[in-house]
Homo-oligomer: A and B are copies of this chain.
């Protein structure tokens, strides 16, 4: 037979079982965390009408999108989870209760140039709260709590949720008479971490057309740093000059005010006036989350408040606030950094039963009892030498191997080997089960991410 060399497309993540087990843990943590805040799981098609996905259009999107025809249909693969959400809410408006809170963890597609750590198929893990006409600021205050809980459960401690408010920025630029240039200015300011204040100042003057005085004013403004109280009180100095600025400051104060009631420690949160989020889309609170020991990764959870989710599909005003985690990239980076906990069990089974008798009835019954007790159990029945069987146990990393021969069956006991300690016990079913349950609880205590 003519054979085809098997391969997986470049830019598409395909994990071996051990790594996949860790990815599944991460997804499960995100699912349960999002659910804890009352978000409904949603699942929209991966293929949509191309006209709908491209309603907004725009250069990068049109270049990167996977678009094709089938019969007469002009189809495309979703490139994010926000556009499908906008379509969903516009389409099912009458059947939803607002505020509508949904989470979606799903694959999206972007035909980017292939490069290390860039994916063409990747998971996004998004939450959004959509209001009908209005949406209270408390929803914006709640987002850091969700990020904090999700990241903490994953095992991260050294991260910072950096928050700003677009109204403060827009109001500030309006004060200086720079409303029209504000987009260019913010894109320039965004480079501060990379190129430093002097070059930012030069670019503001040469490219954004800002006067030297205003450039200094801008640099003084974005240099406001310190604890949340310090930053907020420095901002108070600008009040009374622009309504939008004042409104943004009030919102930011509300977000900060409820932090501790939402359970977010001060050290994991910072008001940061340099955060703008490139998109024109955001109109209020904006979020970025960085790992303190890995600033080079950039933001691993970003989002913000927007005023109009679905303007391309409906005349309903649908303001919202959302955050998104680029899960595939995050998982890849954590792996590269050696931050995925190597001590967590990743074997598909907790227990491997090696029957030592020709008739397997006793071994099968044992497997059924263990499964009834919620122990993930594999029955190994291949005709192999003992050594090959133990190699299999080692290769899969199964934590317990049970041996069941005539002697054990007669005596009503099970021989159980702890594959980590090497310790072997020969005990009745209940005691063996209790030992396994306790050992698994101990082994599964760790978090999926480990900071060094």
> Which A residues are closer than 8 A to B by beta carbons?
1, 3-9, 12-17, 20-21, 23-24, 35-49, 51-52, 55, 66-71, 73, 75, 87-88, 90-92, 95-99, 101-102, 107, 109, 111, 120-121, 131, 134-136, 138-139, 141-142, 145, 149, 257-258, 261-263, 310-315, 348-349, 352, 360-362, 364-365, 367-368, 371-372, 374-383, 392, 395-396
Q: Given A17-B40, A20-B43, A368-B263, verify A5-B313 contact (CB < 8 Å).
A: yes
Residue in B4, B49, B381, B396 whose CB lies within 8 Å of A9: B49
- In the complex, chain B residues whose CB is within 8 Å of the CB of A379: 38, 138, 142
Q: Which residues of B contact A138 (CB under 8 A)?
A: 360, 364, 379, 381
Contact B16–A71 (Cβ < 8 Å): no
Interface pairs (18), CB distance under 8 Å: A4-B51, A8-B91, A9-B75, A17-B41, A20-B40, A36-B374, A36-B375, A37-B378, A38-B352, A38-B377, A45-B121, A68-B68, A134-B383, A149-B371, A261-B361, A261-B368, A262-B364, A263-B372
A360 touches B37 (CB 8 A): no
Given contacts A68-B68, A121-B47, contact A97 B16 (CB under 8 A): no
- CB contact under 8 A between A68 and B66, given known A1-B312, A368-B145: yes
How close is A340's CB to chain B, nearest CB, in angstroms?
16
Contact of A70 among B6, B107, B111 (CB under 8 A): B111
State whether A45 and B349 are in contact (beta carbons under 8 Å apart), knowing that A312-B1, A312-B4 are contacts in the complex: no
CB distance from A36 to the nearest CB of B (A): 5
Evaluate whether A15 and B43 lie within 8 angstroms (CB atoms) in the complex, with A36-B374, A349-B38 already known: yes
A33 to nearest B CB, angstroms? Answer: 9
| Cα–Cα distance between A52 and B135 once the two chains are bound (Å) | 49
On whether the beta carbons of B40 and A73 are closer than 8 Å, the reply is no
Give Cα A12–Cα B87 distance, bound, in whole angstroms.
14
A228 shortest CB reach to chain B, Å: 16
When C-beta atoms are compared, the residue in chain B nearest to A257 turns out to be B361
A44: chain B residues within 8 A (beta carbon): 8, 14
Contact A17 B4 (CB under 8 A): no
CB distance from A10 to the nearest CB of B (A): 9
A37 to B315, CA, bound (A): 51
CB distance from A264 to the nearest CB of B (A): 9
Once the chains are docked, how many angstroms separate the CA of A37 from the CA of B349? 7
Q: Are A314 and B39 interface neighbours, CB within 8 A?
A: no
Q: How far is the CA of A97 from the CA of B135 in the complex (A)?
A: 53
A102 CA / B17 CA spacing, docked (Å): 9
A109 to B375, CA, bound (A): 34
Kindly state the separation between the CA atoms of A51 and B101 in the bound complex, as whole angstroms. 42
> Which residue of B38, B120, B374, B392 contacts A376 across the interface (Cβ within 8 Å)?
B38
Residues of B within 8 A of A145 (CB): 368
Cα separation A297 to B42 with both chains bound (whole Å) = 27
B382 with A99: CB separation less than 8 A:
yes
- By a CB distance below 8 angstroms, the chain B residues around A39 are 348
Please report the C-alpha to C-alpha distance between residue A51 and residue B5 in the assembled complex, in whole angstroms: 10
Check A7 against B52 for contact (C-beta < 8 Å): yes
Are A16 and B95 neighbours in the complex by a CB distance under 8 Å? yes
Contact A9-B40, Cβ < 8 Å, known A381-B139, A395-B97: no
Complex CA–CA separation, A54 to B337 (angstroms): 38
A102-B17, A135-B382 known; A3 vs B258 contact (CB < 8 Å): no
- Contact, CB under 8 Å: A47 / B9: yes
Across the interface, name the chain B residue whose C-beta is closest to A383.
B136
A132, closest chain B residue (CB) = B382
**Chain B: minimal CB distance from A358 (Å):** 12
Inter-chain CA distance A39–B156, complex, in Å, is: 29
Q: Across the two chains, which residue of chain B brings its CB closest to A16?
A: B95
